[in-house]
Structure 1
């Protein structure tokens, strides 16, 4: 499935927001997490619904489908592995790696990971 960087950002944000809570994510939470306008988030979520990656009833909560969850976990795994590699092999400190991993997670292949 060819996901854009934007799609991947939405999936990872939904997963991260839901990681430590037992309820689906609200549009407001997602808007704040992504730093986007409510209308932009609404359009993005609707695209993910169409792709079968997200469930969202009008004015309701947002949750990942099984496929959406798998894609989000793929991104989180890549992000964490990249952070670890930057520290272990390239001499970055832990407080420097997050932003670099944010960019690189969208560019690496499954083979690289």
Structure 2
């Protein structure tokens, strides 16, 4: 956890993963696609309700914004809800990346020898 102005950056591991995948997908991030990409990128199974819960939490925190796509015949005329990372979300990703790199760089190199 780190301070970003008055805002505290606090993400659960799964929220961080969903935020990262949403950033990777950029303009093509919606629930099922995020779920599929999590499995493709990590080998980890995710369920759609967990993904939607994380997306909603991230949006409430201001790290994502959602918008409705156009209706499609393949979805019976329903519209997809797409997600995009906000500027605040990008800042959170950058902070988490910096913290992880700083911690990783402090691990004694001897741990990685002879592996």
TM-score when scaled to structure 2?
A: 0.48
Larger C-alpha radius of gyration, 1 or 2?
A: 2
Counting helix residues as a fraction of each chain, which structure ranks higher? 1
Normalised by the length of structure 1, the TM-score is 0.49
Which one has a larger percent strand, Structure 1 or Structure 2? 2
